Amino acid sequence: MRALLLAATMLAGTFAATPTLAAEKPATPAAAALPADAGAMPEGKLGNQVVPKAYRLDFNLDPAQDRFSGHTEIDVTVNQPGRYVWMHGRDLAVKTVAAKVGTRTIPGTFRQADETGVALLTFAQPLPAGAVTLVFDYDAAFNGGPTGLFHVHVDNQWYSWSQFESIDARAAFPAFDQPGFKTPYTVTITTPAGQRAVSNAPEVSTTTTGTKTVHHFAPTLPLPSYLVAVMAGPFVSVDGAIPADAQRARPLPLRVISTRPNADKLTFALEGTKGIVTHLENYFGQAFPFPKLDQITAPIMPGAMENAGADLYEDSLLALDDHASTAQKRGFGMVVAHELAHQWFGDMVSPAWWDDIWLNESFANWMGFRIGNEWRPDLNIGAGALAEGFSAMGTDALLAGRPIHQPIARNAQIDAAFDTITYGKGGHVVAMIAAFMGDTKFRDGVRGYMARHRYGNASTADFFGAMADAAGDPRILPAMQSFTDQQGVPLVTFAPAGKGKWTATQSRYVRLGTQAPDQTWGVPLCLRQGDARACELLVDKTATVSIDGKGALMPNAGGTGYYRFELPAAQWDALIAQGASLPGGEALALSDSLSASFQAGRASPAQLVAAARTLGANPDSYASDEATTLLSSLDDRGLLTPAAHAGLTRLASEIRKPQLAKLGFDPRKGAHLADDPDTQQRRVALVAELANVAEDAATNATLTKAADGFLTGDAAALDPSFYNSAFKAWLKVHGVDGARRLMETALSSEDPLLRPAALRAIGRSNDPAVAKWLLEDFSDKRLRVNEKLMGVALTIASPATRDYGFGWANAHIDSLLASGAGIFLTRSLPQVVSGFCSTDKAKAIAAWRPHFANNSGALELERAIERVNDCAVLKDQRAADLSATLAAVR
């Protein structure tokens, strides 16, 4: 799975004052009421008392209905005879349960035992050891958000999809829903006549009788339940095949499948997928591991999901053409490469339990950027991996945290593993290990790991063992484990130790006002000074490192190291002076470490301003985008005085206006298609910064005029790459009346870029009147569940409406958490309240603890509280000096 969405965009949409966000769920019995002789309810792993061997899933899906029905048969091996079987099923209305043992049928009952979907089967007679088939008939409600089986109304038609990771397969069928159980699945889907159905394996036959069509699919290769795909609706597709290559003797059937409004936007994804699969086959040294590949879109999918042979994506990731923006093409390349890498690493070889999910996601994240970059080098996709890794350090630096690899004992802990630590930190650590080992040795280790566990399960220890074998270096294993098995960001502090020598001392990075335990890592340390480069594994707390070069020291050569660095003031100044000429990854490392130094009480405000100027001139779009990120974020959080805010607008204008003037800016559709992709992306970023941070009147006027033309019927007046900036600028002029008009534009459209961009503009209006209308007065059934969550998030994320939005969320917290919006909601809500900057607000956020107890949001809530307290300390100790420095900018 690839979670694309920032907290503020995950919670997308609007609410009426008293929203009804989810159907009332049936009450689940207390564990104390369960039969005493059933044994303790498993809160995590089920154990091996009963082990599934094969599933036959028969679904009756009419997406236009509120409910679906199913018939499930599971062949199991009973290892411990008895009347009771622990398994999974959540919010299922189970009508009949039976166990078939030879010619006998033993009736049973189904009882959901807790809210996570642990279920108890009770049979009239003990089940004997050996082969048994469990049989269920049931029905359940479709969800309105992307979890379990969900349905969405699109352009007057209904569609349904499945999203089962992590533990939501149990909401669609009775299951032994944990990744260590891999079995074949034989799926049958009955739909209204004429509709299409999609699952993991090829469709082998259809039979239409009256108003129904029955779709039969071949048995799958062994899969865990979370990778099963079940989809139905009046889909459209473009069909093709990936040509045979050195790894695969036959063409691979390929389809891109979507809702009808996207019918003319799927060819780019079809052709792009072909190239990405070929690059992946070359890397893994083997053919695509499943008999066909479907790439499917859903309008409310938060990112993408790697269902074996049937990947699912948010619409805008696949619905694009050659004229799409660089950002959208980068998203396609990275996320498609990520999900398709999972087909080998995650689907063919699956984690044994959820504590190893980091292996799937961290590796796929690294592969997504790597293979995406191989597919289209001109898009500069690869640089985004480092940007994401450095961003993750902001979370990893908190005391409230977790290691990449951690034990997971309870179901309620599972979803918390899908966070920036797994994706951003994990991907960066994989890149660091690969760079230190060398690309060929690392690839050989991956291939060895895949060969040993083909179509099976594996653990972190298995992966580390394969890497150590390939590296031939016994130090690699403890070095990797030091990063995966403990939280925190290493800080390497450098001090001159004579000509060409430096003393490097490692510690755990902390912000002002916090203390952390003493830790050491096995840091693959690489330095660059001019053309000279030196690398060594720093395993002790302090070591002397040598490098014989000229010019400023770059303590993180290439930016691939997952660590921060600290330098004496003179060496900082020398490195900052080179900010415009550093390679992109090193410029990102400079920006991250300097920002971290300021937040720890060391780097000066003047150094931040100097770095903004030099980094802003860096030719790499990722690096240049970082120039004023910290300063503008501190402004948003209230650290700057009005005079300092004015200084920041002058600084942003000084840096960006000449750059945009040199590139030119015409907001009309396709006006800049002749430019190279990185130049196109740089222009989009420049316009956004001039409009928002610099508050440039001319830029905002140009955007407003273009948006006005677009909204009055001139489709060519505004290029989609400028939707976000233009709608925001336009709304500043038009207020609540404009919000009403923009909302109608959004709800009347199924365009995968226009609709969300219009909704985002309303949510982040930064206008109290618009926020009140949005949260208190507006209601429309056309708004989807996930869209009903963005307004609150973006209202809280905007400085002028932050307090109002938090107050509204505080009053509706239970409804928000019951919205059924899927795996990321309970983590995203705490994330969006992290932008406050006072101890009083931290206490108010802490009052949410009872609402997040025992769910995946508990850790994110503690992180939010810590961030808000840290900001209060920073404001108290550094805001005055920072404001004075910025106020003096002319």
Q: What is the pLDDT of residues 479-501, one digit of tens each?
A: 888 999 999 999 999 999 999 99
For residue 783, pLDDT over 90 is answered with no
Q: By C-alpha distance, which of 833, 836, 837 is closest to 849?
A: 833
For residue 469, pLDDT over 60 is answered with yes
List the 230-233 sheet strands across, edge first: 148-154, 157-163, 230-233, 196-199
d(CA 463, CA 734): 57
For the chain, give every residue range classified as CATH 1.10.390.10: 236-344, 350-484
Question: How confident is the model over 872-883, as a mean pLDDT?
Answer: 98
Q: Mean of the per-residue pLDDT values for the chain?
A: 93
Question: CB neighbours of 275 closer than 8 A, spacing ≥ 6?
Answer: 375
CA angle (626, 627, 630) in 5-degree steps = 75
- Residue 479 phi, psi dihedral angles, 5° rounding: -65, -45
Tell me, letter by letter, the H, E, C secondary structure of 182-226.
CECEEEEEEEECCCEEEECCCEEEEEEECCEEEEEECCCCCECHH
Whether the Cβ atoms of residue 594 and residue 356 lie closer than 8 Å to each other: no
For residue 13, pLDDT over 50 is answered with no
d(CA 99, CA 133): 6
Percent of the chain with pLDDT over 90: 83
Q: By C-alpha distance, which of 292, 417, 418, 415 is closest to 4?
A: 418
Q: What is the pLDDT of residues 632-652, one digit of tens each?
A: 999 999 999 999 999 999 999
CATH of 350-484 given 1.10.260.40, 3.40.1170.20, 1.25.40.80, 1.10.390.10: 1.10.390.10
Q: By C-alpha distance, which of 592, 349, 585, 304 is closest to 457?
A: 349
Whether the Cβ atoms of residue 235 and residue 198 lie closer than 8 Å to each other: yes
Alpha carbon 466 to its chain's center: 27
Under CATH, what is the fold of the domain 42-234?
Immunoglobulin-like (2.60.40)
Q: What is the pLDDT of residues 325-378, one digit of tens each?
A: 999 999 999 999 999 999 999 999 999 999 999 989 999 999 999 999 999 999
Check the CA dihedral 282-284-290-296 and report its sign: negative
**First-last CA distance in the chain:** 47
pLDDT number for residue 138: 98
DSSP string, 564-576: EEE--HHHHHHHH
Helix axes 326-344, 357-375, angle to 10 degrees: 130
Task: Reply yes or no: is the peptide bond before residue 166 cis, omega within 30 of 0.
Answer: yes
Question: How confident is the model over 772-781, as a mean pLDDT?
Answer: 92
The CATH superfamily of 236-344 is Neutral Protease Domain 2 (1.10.390.10)
Residue of 190 and 788 predicted with greater confidence: 190
CA angle (653, 656, 657) in 5-degree steps = 70
d(CA 866, CA 63): 43
For residue 432, the surrounding DSSP H or E stretch is helix 426-437
List the 532-538 sheet strands across, edge first: 532-538, 523-529, 553-554
For residue 9, pLDDT over 60 is answered with no
Question: CB neighbours of 369 closer than 8 A, spacing ≥ 6?
Answer: 334, 337, 381, 382, 384, 385, 388, 427
Other C-beta atoms closer than 10 Å to the C-beta of 126 total 12
Q: What is the pLDDT of residues 707-735, one digit of tens each?
A: 999 999 999 999 999 999 999 999 999 99
d(CA 621, CA 618): 8
Q: By C-alpha distance, which of 64, 56, 61, 226 is closest to 147?
A: 226
Q: What is the pLDDT of residues 171-224, one digit of tens each?
A: 999 999 999 999 999 999 999 999 999 999 999 999 999 999 999 999 999 999
For residue 25, pLDDT over 80 is answered with no
d(CA 74, CA 54): 6
Other C-beta atoms closer than 10 Å to the C-beta of 250 total 11
pLDDT tier at 23, thresholds 50, 70, 90: very low
Alpha carbon 606 to its chain's center: 35
Both tokens of 713, joined, read: 């019927």
Whether the Cβ atoms of residue 165 and residue 114 lie closer than 8 Å to each other: no
d(CA 61, CA 69): 7
Whether the Cβ atoms of residue 141 and residue 66 lie closer than 8 Å to each other: yes
Q: What is the pLDDT of residues 795-814, one digit of tens each?
A: 999 999 999 999 999 999 88
Whether the Cβ atoms of residue 402 and residue 859 lie closer than 8 Å to each other: yes
Burial of 153-173, coded b for 16+ CB within 10 Å and e otherwise, reads ebeebbbbbbbbbbbbbbbbb
DSSP H helices, 472-541, are 476-484
Strands 542-546 and 501-508: antiparallel
